[in-house]
Amino acid sequence: MRHRSEVSLILAVSVFALAGVSAMALTETAAVTVITPPETTPIIVVRSPDDAAAWFQEIRQFCNPVEVETRMRWQPAPDGPEGDMRRAACYALAGRITEARTVIEGLPQGLRYRAAGVVFNAGHPAADAGDDVAAGPLMELVVEFWPNHYMALYHAGAASFERGDFGLSADYLERFLVEYSVADGWRSNAESMLADMSRTER
């Protein structure tokens, strides 16, 4: 028969052993639960035409020769054709016609005339306000990619007329008259400019 002291010692050892096992189990459990979460998959944002239009409205005030390059770096256009069309318009408004042309030429052939339309819409208010000279290079760019855009032909012709480049002006205005048959102020102005150039050349 074991003495009471031995029984107590055995019980104490058993308790310590069970406590150790429990501690190991808790440690292992803790090790299993503390798992570094995997990296999250990046969300791909699909840009819509509305994104590009909103970008252009926000950046338009910076589409000038002084600020355009800096702003383009800080706030680039949305990726894709719609963003590129607005980027070309911003460059054109800033008078950076070479850069605008390069952007348009980077688009698929079937989208270039659409880009020209976006450029036209950006510059048309200035031309309609009477500043044809300032809008002239932009309108000539539009005609490069949309040759029968009658309003761009008119404004390009008016700008050339005011610059005294009668040969180029006559070409644009005659093409305008072919495309535009409405008997209104636009047509009569074009005819008047052509008549003035004809008299000057005599």
- 97 vs 16, which has greater pLDDT? 97
- Looking at residue 92, what is its pLDDT? 96
Place of tokens 């032909």: 153
- Looking at residue 202, what is its pLDDT? 60
Domain ranges of the chain: 48-146, 148-202
138 close to 92: Cβ distance less than 8 angstroms: yes
C-alpha distances in angstroms, 94 versus 18, 60, 61, 83, 157? Answer: 80, 10, 10, 17, 21
What would the pLDDT profile of 134-181 be if each residue is shown by its tens digit? 889 999 999 999 999 999 999 999 999 999 999 999 999 999 999 999
What would the pLDDT profile of 98-113 be if each residue is shown by its tens digit? 999 999 999 999 999 9
The token pair at 106 is 């980077």
What does the mean pLDDT of the chain come to? 81
